Amino acid sequence: MAKTFSEARAALAQGHSVVAGTQAALAAAEAQQDLNAFLELFPHSALEQAARVDARLKAGDAGPLAGLVLSIKDNICYKDHKVSAASRMLQDFTSLYSATVVERLLAADAVILGRTNCDEFAMGSSNENSAYGPVKNPLNTSVVPGGSSGGAAASVAAGIVHAALGSDTGGSIRQPASFTGTVGFKPTYGRVSRYGLIAFASSFDQIGPFAHTVADAAALYQVMAGADPRDSTTSRKALEPLDLAHPGKLRIGYFHEGLERAGMDPEVVAHLHAQLDRLRAEGHTVEAVEVPLLDHQVPTYYILATAEASSNLARFDGIHFGHRSAKAQGVEETYRLSRSEGFGPEVKRRILLGTFVLSAGYYDAYYAQAQRVRRILRNKTLEAFERFDLLLGPTCPTTAFAHGAVTDPVAMYLQDIFTVQANLVGTPSISLPTGTHSNGLPFGLQLMAAPFADARLLAAAHNLF
């Protein structure tokens, strides 16, 4: 089976069919069921769509993604298909409508193979929080694939699909991309519609692609991006033309402070320095830059994201949405038991934290203060983009860890140390698989650009690495 979309397109030109490609992908998914990457395959709708695409290819009017086989994370709605956010709360819930991204991708002739496992309600960094069991990393099944979009990353890394949709609230596309040796792209906040994405933290969430190459990720982005009247947070700014030509000599900043922290893998640091030397030798300007408020980023993210989650998840009460306890009598008990039975421990922890930081008496000390820190961080990051085209750093401090190795929630939250800035500020950011550790596992470098410089970021990622 063709690994990348470009290869799949070449195969089509040689007379291969989309139906055959889809059948091969279904077989590959079946053969690798032990990864637990997919919660469900959609053979019926996938093969129907594939046959339609084959007909359009024959008629010469196929869309730009004809030949692409894709998976979607289990928090993205697809009409008449189940979506559960990997939670017991939404077990057997069927979507009444499709997310805007799903509509756009199908209209461009992509085939959706199935829905992928993830951390419950996208909360986590290892894909061990799913109500349907953990996902294994296809490169080494004893380690995690990262999270929360772990199934998405695994579905690409295992060669089952050409690309996958994930969501990134604090790093959930880029960290699993780093752990699985794939490309993971989080677009600028407001570039891709969130309509039909089950909300975790609405001012942070963005949908984005996983792929084997930047060009494939860019092809998906181009179809998905743009204003959507159904999501008022999408930007009406005109879409910048996507041009993957070499962007010329760039000004690149790198975060040196973060590299000296305890817990940084020395091989990841050495790799970054080697890449910086190469970029300098190629004529780019490379300078160290201070990370704004590094030690405040993760706490700020966890105050604001949990506050938003506690509000967004209030709708899952057994009456409006979600699992209803069979034991409950009366309204209050229905809320209490349904939520106690439906949510897993990490989701409960986040709801409690978020409710606490929003409660009267603590609001000013936590929530309002964190909003101020977010504003300062945004201003300082935008200032840095007056001097630099790109900011470069590691995606994660380490390579993928063993299942069960990280049990302390705070230690798990520190996985996000390099990724949350992009979500707090709204910048586009991409993780590229540039390194291989002596332990045999891959790791990524992360590039960030100014808000709405997505096209420039993709061009730099495509040509410089």
Which positions lie near ligand GLN, rule CB under 6 A?
122-125, 148, 167-172, 200, 305, 416
Q: Which of 98, 148, 235, 338 is catalytic?
A: 148
Indicate the pairing of strand 429-436 with strand 442-448. antiparallel
Please say which residue, 430 or 459, places its beta carbon nearer to ligand GLN. 430
Q: How far is CA 238 from CA 64, 224, 234, 348, 450, in A?
A: 20, 14, 11, 40, 16
**All residues at 6 or more sequence positions from 418 whose CB lies less than 8 Å from its CB, including other chains:** 171, 255, 258, 393, 394, 395, 396, 397, 446
- Cβ of residue 172: shortest distance to ligand GLN, in angstroms? 3
- For tokens 């929360």, name the residue: 148
Instruction: Give the residue from 157, 441, 444 showing the smallest Cα distance to 275.
Output: 444
Catalytic residue check, 172 = yes
Closest residue to ligand GLN: CB criterion: 172
Please say which residue, 36 or 125, places its beta carbon nearer to ligand GLN. 125
Please say which residue, 106 or 123, places its beta carbon nearer to ligand GLN. 123
Please say which residue, 166 or 247, places its beta carbon nearer to ligand GLN. 166
Phi-psi label, residue 87: left if phi above 0, alpha if psi -120 to 50, beta otherwise:
beta
Q: Which of 73, 95, 149, 186 is catalytic?
A: 73
Q: Which of 155, 167, 172, 235 is catalytic?
A: 172
One-letter amino acid for residue 350 of the chain: R
Please say which residue, 38 or 200, places its beta carbon nearer to ligand GLN. 200
- Cβ of residue 385: shortest distance to ligand GLN, in angstroms? 22
Structure tokens belonging to residue 66:
């004809």
Q: Rounded CA gap, 122 and 125, in Å?
A: 9
Q: Rounded CA gap, 212 and 7, in Å?
A: 11
Please say which residue, 71 or 275, places its beta carbon nearer to ligand GLN. 71
- Cβ of residue 183: shortest distance to ligand GLN, in angstroms? 17
- Cβ of residue 407: shortest distance to ligand GLN, in angstroms? 15
| Cis omega (within 30 of 0) for bond into 172 | no
- Cβ of residue 294: shortest distance to ligand GLN, in angstroms? 17
156 three-state secondary structure:
helix
Please say which residue, 62 or 309, places its beta carbon nearer to ligand GLN. 309
Structure tokens belonging to residue 447:
């590039």
Q: Rounded CA gap, 343 and 352, in Å?
A: 12
Please say which residue, 216 or 416, places its beta carbon nearer to ligand GLN. 416
- Cβ of residue 193: shortest distance to ligand GLN, in angstroms? 17
Beta bridge partners of 251: 285
Q: Rounded CA gap, 32 and 49, in Å?
A: 23
- Cβ of residue 143: shortest distance to ligand GLN, in angstroms? 17
Quote the strand ranges of 228-377, DSSP E: 251-255, 285-289
Q: 197 near 103, Cβ under 8 Å?
A: no
- Cβ of residue 421: shortest distance to ligand GLN, in angstroms? 13
**All residues at 6 or more sequence positions from 156 whose CB lies less than 8 Å from its CB, including other chains:** 71, 162, 163, 164, 180, 182, 210, 211, 212
Please say which residue, 146 or 181, places its beta carbon nearer to ligand GLN. 146
Buried b (16+ CB within 10 A) or exposed e, 420-437: bbbbbbbbbbbbbbbbee
Backbone angles phi, psi at 72, to 5 degrees: -120, 140
Q: How far is CA 110 from CA 10, 96, 180, 269, 447, in A?
A: 16, 20, 23, 38, 27
- Cβ of residue 304: shortest distance to ligand GLN, in angstroms? 11
- Catalytic residue positions? 73, 148, 172
